[in-house]
Amino acid sequence: MAVEKGSKVKVDYEGTLEDGTVFDCSANHGAPLEFEVGAGHILPGFEEAILGKEAGDEAEVTLPPEEAYGEVSEQLVHVVPKDQIPIDRELEVDMVLAVSLPDGRQIPARITCVEEENVTPDMNHPLAGKTLKFKIKVVEI
């Protein structure tokens, strides 16, 4: 049986940056990644790499930023007054805060600058602007 849209699959994977740095792998989660192909929960290029594959098959795919988490957007970086950040501890560069969106969802924002009265959170995905490489093995369909 080959992977097609609608298939429920389990895959082992390793995701690396162009310099070879591993940013994620299924081994870190203790189990293969399970998902339904075409359901929109996985990067489309990742899914396309396994279409037509069978259990035991492997694939490699390189996704440029526009096919992964997009380019870095300056519109997602804002300077805000410190007193608008509801946190009871000292703000630091690289600290990650949860930011609530109007629809109730929360997204992470990494602090990029802390000044006396202002703080700059960056709401871009941590992998925005990066080319991602994946090695994928179909474990089960």
Query: pLDDT tens digits for the chain (141 residues)?
Result: 999 999 999 999 999 999 999 999 999 999 999 999 999 999 999 999 999 999 999 999 999 999 999 999 999 999 999 988 888 788 999 999 888 888 888 888 999 999 999 999 999 999 999 999 999 999 999
d(CA 22, CA 133) in angstroms, rounded, equals 9
Query: Phi and psi of 50, rounded to 5°?
Result: -105, -5
> What span, in angstroms and rounded, lies between the C-alpha atoms of 80 and 127?
23
pLDDT score recorded for residue 107 = 86
